[in-house]
A and B are shown apart, each in its own frame.
Chain A
């Protein structure tokens, strides 16, 4: 299949099917309804199952059950729905099960709005549910990257037996772009060793998948093992992109749609002679702190650009060891910073 023009949400769904996803459970919420709609039509044709859960709470627990059988299962939702799923996500992470969760973010807090936003950075990367757990969080900034990340998400989910979240914003969901979606095979060779339903294959040994441990030493040991996994992600699997860093005096830190807008602003600013570069984290957890080590000594300032109130700024400060002043520019509530606004902010900083 060559490139075809597709809407973001549908590209996500088709990419998932082409990567082997056969089970989807979800509950309607704007702006991601085209994903479950697409799944409800197309999954049965591939021998899969789509079920509309009675809530996000139920949907994520259906995902938990399906994931326990070692299949490729997915759900998608938007911000308030992800909040409801947080209990289940914590159990899935604690029970070390693989799944893919798509969050097409909208403005918050509470019911917020339905327009594009990046308001769930902290929820996705620092928690949401209870306990010491982490999701792998991918933040694509083009549709082709979205497709590629959705497809590789199961590779990581099965590599680490951990939930992976695609953190997209409403722009990514609604925009149309040419994309190429290829079949993708996920390595699930070892599922029989841990998943439910293989009692005989394991030589009459049952599997027990759980997060509870009432013995504090054992629960601590479990947490230490989880942490080793998160440390390994940090070492092996960060992803980022940098642009125009070499001589940069101002470096913009941005991901997803904000990064895309920033790139256009940087191109214009460069033409005007302003030395501006970009660090674009693609994995938000594990956060690519090392990308910020590439910032050259010429740098005087870091500008964090997001569609929220500056949720990534702490990670940027950690990544730069607070060597540079870091400020924030952005919009929230469904508004995005415009190219002109970013340019103006950069000119102001560079004087």
Chain B
């Protein structure tokens, strides 16, 4: 009887580990895409990354590459230090929306503006996951969070920040795209975008930024199915998918 392979773990996935992510969380999907690409591009031994502060703080437990830990929001500065010493290596950051768009806003804008030759994967789940569901800079108007229990009020907190659009106003970045992991067809596109980011880095084209619309069923107070629906119905109209800047 012939066997048909329907599933295997990426080689760069740590042996015998399961993630601590909640059911329906987008982090796991994003991790998987990164590992598949590390395998496909054969860069496991030459990829250096840093763990962010957020739910993905222990992503080094899942991905078998060299890791250093970055303080909250500082990954783009840490990556700058690494890549400037080792331009021969692949470097990527992986950051949540609190990490990147709030406390780390200065670091991301200036790394983008210097055109640092690394790839940024930005996980936008419109909330602070790790600390228990507080408002993020990306929390939508009216969306409830533990620090805006009646829903985000723009008079108090301003409007949610669109990072792709913000960074696309800079001259230097090579590539900026927003993708989603809400459905297989989006996931395929997300993988292609991350791949492009990695390839641009290999070609020394400079800074690439891939925003991934993700989910946080736990802190959104939804089941996984509802969370993916909510992302498509509520997040996507405010955070449109697409390419905002491309070197080509």
Contact = CB atoms under 8 A, between A and B. Distances in A.
Interface of A: 23, 25, 49, 51, 53-55, 57-59, 61-69, 71, 73, 87-88, 91, 95, 196-200, 204, 206-212
A63 to B, nearest CB: 6
B67 A51 contact: no
Given A49-B85, A196-B48, A206-B64, A62 B69 contact: no
A88 B71 CA distance: 7
A210 B79 CA distance: 15
Contacts of B66: 196-199, 206-208
A65 B80 contact: yes
Given A61-B74, A204-B45, A73 B67 contact: no
A26 to B, nearest CB: 12
A88 B65 CA distance: 23
Given A54-B106, A212-B57, A65 B45 contact: no
Interface string B62-91: 001111111100100111111111100100
A199 B46 contact: yes
Given A61-B77, A210-B51, A212-B57, A95 B107 contact: no
A130 to B, nearest CB: 11
Interface in B79-129: 79-86, 89, 106-107, 109-110, 114
B84 A197 contact: no
A189 to B, nearest CB: 18
Contacts of B230: none
B68 A68 contact: yes
B84 A66 contact: yes
Given A53-B77, A91-B69, 9 more contacts: A49-B84, A64-B70, A65-B82, A69-B81, A196-B66, A196-B68, A197-B46, A200-B45, A206-B67
Which of B45, B68, B107 has the largest count of A CB atoms less than 10 A from its CB? B68
A62 B71 contact: no
A91 B70 CA distance: 8
A58 B85 contact: no
Given A199-B44, A209-B67, A210-B51, A64 B78 contact: yes
A61 B89 CA distance: 19
B96 to A, nearest CB: 16
For the complex of A and B, list the 7 residue pairs with the smallest distance between their C-beta atoms, beginning with the closest. Answer: A65-B81, A61-B77, A66-B81, A210-B69, A65-B78, A62-B81, A54-B110
Which of B48, B80, B85, B110 has the largest count of A CB atoms less than 10 A from its CB? B85
B50 interface: yes
A23 B85 contact: yes
A212 B80 contact: no
Contacts of B79: 65
B60 interface: yes
A209 B68 contact: yes
Given A65-B80, A71-B85, A208-B60, A88 B68 contact: no
State the majority secondary structure of interface residues on B.
Answer: helix
B230 to A, nearest CB: 30
Nearest to A209: B68
A61 B104 CA distance: 12
A200 to B, nearest CB: 5
A41 to B, nearest CB: 17
Contacts of A95: 68-69
Nearest to B81: A65
Contacts of A66: 81-82, 84-85
B67 to A, nearest CB: 5
A23 B84 contact: yes
Nearest to A62: B81
A255 B65 CA distance: 46
Contacts of A198: 66
Contacts of B45: 199-200, 204
B81 A64 contact: yes
A68 B81 contact: yes
Nearest to A70: B85
A57 B85 contact: no
Nearest to A201: B45
A313 B69 CA distance: 37
A65 B51 CA distance: 12
Which of A54, A61, A199, A210 has the largest count of B CB atoms less than 10 A from its CB? A61
B78 A211 contact: no
B74 A58 contact: yes
A75 B114 CA distance: 19
A270 B81 CA distance: 53
Contact of A210 (B65, B68, B80, B109): B68
Which of B45, B66, B82, B89 has the largest count of A CB atoms less than 10 A from its CB? B66
Contacts of B107: 54, 57-58, 61
Contacts of B44: 199
B75 to A, nearest CB: 8
A62 B68 contact: no
A91 B114 CA distance: 24
25 contacts: A51-B114, A53-B110, A55-B106, A57-B77, A57-B107, A58-B110, A62-B78, A62-B80, A64-B71, A64-B74, A65-B70, A65-B77, A65-B82, A66-B81, A67-B81, A73-B81, A95-B68, A196-B67, A197-B48, A200-B45, A204-B45, A206-B64, A206-B65, A207-B67, A209-B68
Contact of A61 (B65, B71, B85, B109): B71
A209 B69 contact: yes
B77 A68 contact: no
B51 to A, nearest CB: 7
Given A54-B110, A55-B106, A58-B77, A210 B60 contact: yes
